[in-house]
Amino acid sequence: MADGTNFTQWFPPSTSDLPTRHSYPVQRTLNQNRPEFQRFSAAPAPQVQGQYTDDDSSYYAAPIFSNPPKPPLPPKTDNGSNNSSFASGPNPSGKGIQAWKQKNPFFSHRNGSVGYDPSAENFDGLVCTSKECANIAAFFAGNMNEKADPCVDFYEYACGNYPLTRELPPNKPLRHTIIDTQTLLHKQIKKLLEESPKKEDKPWDKLAKDYYAKCLDEDALVENGKPSLRSLLRKVGGWPVLEGRNWHEFEMNWEEYIAVVLNKTGVTAIIFELTVSHDPNNSSKTVLELDQPKFGIGSRWPYMGGINDSMVQNYTELMIQTAIRLGAKEEDARAEMLEAAELEVKLVDFSSDDTVRRDPDRSNNPFQLWQLKQQFPFVDFESFIERVFDGIVNISPNDTVIIRELDYFKGIQHVLKSSTKRAIANYVCWRIVQGFSAFLPPKDRDPFYEFKANQTGMFNVPIPDRWEDCVTLSCMLIDMPVGKLFVENYFSEKFAMPKMIEMTKYLKDTFIDQLNELDWMDSATRQRAIEKAHAIDYKSGYPPQIFNDTWMEQSWGFKPTTKTESLLALTIRVKLSRTTEELARFKQPVDRSFWYQSPAQVDAFYSPSSNEMIFPAGIMQFPFLSTGVPNYVLYSMIGVIISHEVSHAFDDQGGRYDEYGNLHDWWDVNTAEKFYDKAECFVQQYQAEKIREAGGQTLNGRLSLGENIADNAGLKTSFRAYKSWNQENSGFQEPALPGFQNFTADQVFFIAYANNWCSVMRPQHIVQLINTDVHAPGRFRATIPLRNRPEFSEAFGCAKGTPMNPEKKCAICSNFYRKDNLGFLAEMARFIASLLVLSLAMPSSSFLFGGSSCGCSARPACAPVAAPACAPVLAPACGGGFAAPAYPAPAAYPQQSYSAPAPVPLIPSQGGSYAQAPQPQFAPQPQVAPQPQFVPQPQGGSYAQPSFNVPPPPAPQGPSYEVQPSSLQYEQPAAAGETLREVEEEDSDSKPSSTTSAPTPGEVAEPVDIKQLNLTDDEECNSEDLRKIITENIDEDLNSSKRLIQLAAEAKFGGRFDVICSSQDFSYVTNTELFCQHTKETVSCYAYRQL
């Protein structure tokens, strides 16, 4: 047996009180390598009455049970009898099985098989014997710990053996059901891409295979990896730290410089991010969006600790080591990369947290291009945009630009104005190198793996196999050709597509029924919600264009690569072509018929700006969707995914959009208030959960509120939809799963639901997840929604008051949002942001099945093994993603904005190269009264005259700006901005030397001598000038207050200043000669100059 050979033996009929899977003899062949599986073939034994064998089904896999799991019995009644929910039906004969087969709507002839087992009383004795049923039964049985009490800890009962039967790879902090499916998909794609070219291969098939093969050739990377990257850097002016004194400062402004970088590299998000997106106010049109980018570490919170934060220090060392390996002198690398890191910290300080960014109204700040100069006097957006679109789209000063983060741009304009071009170029080139680090030779990628180890605490772990990176690279860059290969070879379209259509109908109808039942929703809001639910567009499987040769030739008909072309050069060539096509969609009508996601991914998405659901082919496979398995399994797995996403159409993001995808406030205030009262129940319920692996730390019920309600609503909707299907097909008896004959269909439904969330992770990873991810860990996603369902307690006979049947339950149909004068979202986000600011020392990250915020997000972050998160130039804004990153996504493995198992993205994907299809007819958009458009007439009269006969607004009187919470008003800001300007002017008069020349790398402005300052003996504030700076720059936004005070103080006094701002009590110990603490309303700030 040591050689792994198989043996056969006869498996006699069971004689126990609870029979095993079959009461008839079969021949068993054991697979020695997979003891949890057996392969059965039809035995040459006498036929047993009721047994059915399909001629096309020669074998099937089945779980091994010494005894089948015994479900708990419902509680006994007062007279001592079992109040059993196990319905007993007539004992079927062969005729009954034949009748079952004729009425079976989803068992195909190829896989359809059913047997008879008298112990399957709850299924009229019918047992499914297809290999698909056996496989899913083995999956559930292998994860199950039948010794656990399902009424005490159902996760342990359903998933307790998952860590025992799964190996957690040493280089991964987490593994779960979705990651397992993603791993399978990657292996499937690996097999396809490694196949030898065929005569019938299309050019785009060959492109995918050639790209993968070139990626695997690490000998070529050793030879041309670094030269190719240095060559790319020279195309954008060179990396100063490498060029040393030979670097020539770019003559253009920094805005045009990053436009050149975008046009030559395809990287769209370094200092800020540019996208072409749907107009929130008219989703049939496209607009430009400018937003804060994802930063090098990935998570925002480490930067809040400043340059001395341990993770930021590790990141800085990564920058230094990378520069040295590319040829920089160590002394130069340490000085200049420290300066670049300090610049990034300053930029991040003005950025907003993801919890705040969930409010779509907050990010909808439309301007005309010419108006931006008034709001941001030190950023030349016109030069940037005109340079980017030069030769692609004609840009007009009247074009609409949406600024998603007002505070970010108001703040960074001063940072960049005071930064040298050398510092900016060093930072930008570092982000390019980071983004394309996967194309470096193996030994030069080591610093990125070391950085990841420092972040995750996973040291001395093996580096991932190269094929894993190359599959991910191929899936992201060559997404549609790779998706086509996957669909052709692995997608069960004939079963999956009709089944998804059928299930979607029941789930949507059930969801609408639940809307009609809500007693807290007013009739007008209910009607609008129902109209939106009816209007949702469901896209399943794959975009049909991938099998249109004309379209594929236009989009993917690239000139074949050669042996001499480097991997990086091929990547840039493809990437730039796609970027150009995406930019060309600006000013074009939105084509809602097309997809912006590859079919080869394990995920699901909802896009509020399109009001559409997307279910790629990659998730429509085992275990979520399998042909030949009962509906009580399908509805609990893929059905829960669908209904989870449907609920996102009505959550705190999706609920702001109407049925056309327009950002439109259509909720009644009283209805929203009632919802908030119900939502608070979920907040308290999740916050009461303590995590033993995290030292008793509790979940953040507010951070994960949206996803928690989606999980609960998804389970409720899917279970009711299954019951609706069952009622409409009451004459049809579904069979039991093999080995689960003694369970009820409802019990297996809930077991299957929990199996969506089976996981194993390293303890040090959990603390990070619960502090930053908008999803609860898998254990709680499996159990808490079940605790809230009375149907679960009834199915397993859980007594009232047991852990899985608590007295108090939370229930809601779907997660709408509360709207009041302040705006619930903004209020809650500020609260969470303040908590994050006050707990910077606490480690954080992201977790299971959820990623940053949503399935595809308006700009999905997508970056290489150590890359900047960079988004497609055009992608629909998305609501929820069902799955999530597999681990925190630092620079070494940046987060993907929601790709199910977060497959360690390797390059900045740009969304896809899609030709414009004919525009479909849509419902009429709401009419908006035209607003006057003013364009100041430049010299030479090159701009069109304004269409309204009204005098243009006055030109701004000098630089005037502020950093305040976001506002939709376009008035000239004042207060803080004017103060800052005055401070700078005073400093210029009194000490010109501090501003006339920029500091050299690593240095700061010379401190003003303490003897020249008018200091007092006040123990709280020894400088009235510093107090004035604090007073005039403090506001409710703690981060902007801190940065404005720091900038103004350093401009006035020189040297380095540290600033602490809080709305709570705080203590500190400093060693300084210049300091001041001052309180304004509820915010206190303390500023001091370092010695």
Q: What angle do CA 102, 106, 109 make, to 5 degrees?
A: 60
Q: What is the tens place of the pLDDT at every residue in 498-543?
A: 999 999 999 999 999 988 888 888 888 889 989 999 999 999 999 9
**Is the previous residue joined to 599 through a cis bond, with omega within 30 degrees of 0?**
no
Residue 449 belongs to domain spanning: 238-468
Q: What is the mean pLDDT of residues 296-315?
A: 91
Mean residue pLDDT across the chain: 75
Tokens encoding 847: 């977790």
Query: Which element (helix H / strand E) includes 174?
Result: strand 174-176
Phi, psi of 198 (to 5 degrees): -115, 160
Q: What is the tens place of the pLDDT at every residue in 826-837?
A: 333 333 333 333
Residue 365 placed within a domain: yes
d(CA 155, CA 758): 8
Quick one: pLDDT band at residue 98, thresholds 50, 70, 90?
A: low
Q: What is the tens place of the pLDDT at every residue in 994-1033?
A: 333 333 434 467 899 888 899 998 889 999 999 999 999 8
| Residue-level pLDDT at 693 | 74
Phi, psi of 152 (to 5 degrees): -100, -50
Residue 147 placed within a domain: no
- Pairing type for strands 605-607 and 612-616 reads antiparallel
Q: Which of 633, 631, 794, 743 is nearest to 121 (CA)?
A: 743
Select which of 289, 336, 582, 711 is catalytic.
Answer: 711
> How many domains is the chain partitioned into structurally?
2
C-beta atoms surrounding 75 within 10 Å: 12
Residue 868 placed within a domain: no
Residue 664 placed within a domain: no
d(CA 845, CA 777): 12
Q: What is the mean pLDDT of residues 1057-1067?
A: 79
Q: What is the mean pLDDT of residues 362-382?
A: 95
Q: What is the mean pLDDT of residues 648-658?
A: 82
- Pairing type for strands 759-761 and 1057-1062 reads unpaired
Q: Which of 235, 255, 263, 259 is nearest to 579 (CA)?
A: 263
Place of tokens 């307790």: 160
Q: What is the mean pLDDT of residues 44-59?
A: 30
Q: At what angle do helices 976-990 and 1038-1053 cross, to 10 degrees?
A: 20
**CATH number of the CATH domain containing 1062:** 3.30.740.10
| Residue-level pLDDT at 481 | 97
Place of tokens 């103004």: 1048
| Residue-level pLDDT at 543 | 94
Quick one: pLDDT band at residue 767, thresholds 50, 70, 90?
A: confident
Q: Are 188 and 485 in contact (CB under 8 A)?
A: no
Select which of 353, 645, 659, 1050 is catalytic.
Answer: 645
Concerning whether 645 is annotated as a catalytic residue, the answer is yes
Q: Are 612 and 539 in contact (CB under 8 A)?
A: yes
Residue 446 placed within a domain: yes
Residue 486 placed within a domain: no
**Residues 6 or more apart whose Cβ sits within 8 Å of residue 8:** 27, 28, 29
Q: Of the spans 325-329, 658-662, 683-687, which averages the highest pLDDT?
A: 325-329
**CATH number of the CATH domain containing 267:** 1.10.1380.10
d(CA 795, CA 744): 8
pTM of the model: 0.70
Residue 1022 placed within a domain: yes
**Residues 6 or more apart whose Cβ sits within 8 Å of residue 677:** none
Lowest mean pLDDT among 169-183, 246-260, 454-468, 987-1001: 987-1001
For the chain, give the longest Cα–Cα distance: 106
Q: Which residue has the higher pLDDT, 34 or 409?
A: 409
Q: Which residue has the higher pLDDT, 171 or 850?
A: 171
Q: What is the mean pLDDT of residues 324-340?
A: 97
| Residue-level pLDDT at 71 | 57
| Residue-level pLDDT at 104 | 55
Q: Which of 707, 689, 648 is nearest to 848 (CA)?
A: 707
10 Å CB burial of residue 573 (0-12, 13-18, 19+) is middle
Q: Are 65 and 21 in contact (CB under 8 A)?
A: yes
Q: What is the tens place of the pLDDT at every residue in 973-993?
A: 333 333 232 223 333 333 333
Concerning whether 582 is annotated as a catalytic residue, the answer is no
Final residue before a domain boundary, out of 440, 468, 496: 468
Q: Which of 392, 389, 386 is nearest to 369 (CA)?
A: 386
d(CA 513, CA 536): 16
DSSP collapsed to 3 states, 81-114: CECCCCCCCCCCCHHHHHHHHHHCCCCCCCCCCE
Quick one: pLDDT band at residue 854, thresholds 50, 70, 90?
A: very low
Quick one: pLDDT band at residue 766, thresholds 50, 70, 90?
A: confident
Quick one: pLDDT band at residue 1068, thresholds 50, 70, 90?
A: low
C-beta atoms surrounding 11 within 10 Å: 18
Lowest mean pLDDT among 255-259, 439-443, 618-622, 672-676: 672-676
- Model confidence at 277: pLDDT above 80: yes
- Model confidence at 428: pLDDT above 70: yes
Residue 293 placed within a domain: yes
Q: Which residue has the higher pLDDT, 143 or 172?
A: 143
Q: Which of 419, 415, 416, 427 is nearest to 240 (CA)?
A: 427
Final residue before a domain boundary, out of 468, 488, 511: 468
Q: Are 578 and 479 in contact (CB under 8 A)?
A: no
Residue 246 Cα to chain centre, angstroms: 42
Helix (H/G/I), strand (E/B), else coil: 18: coil
Final residue before a domain boundary, out of 468, 498, 530: 468
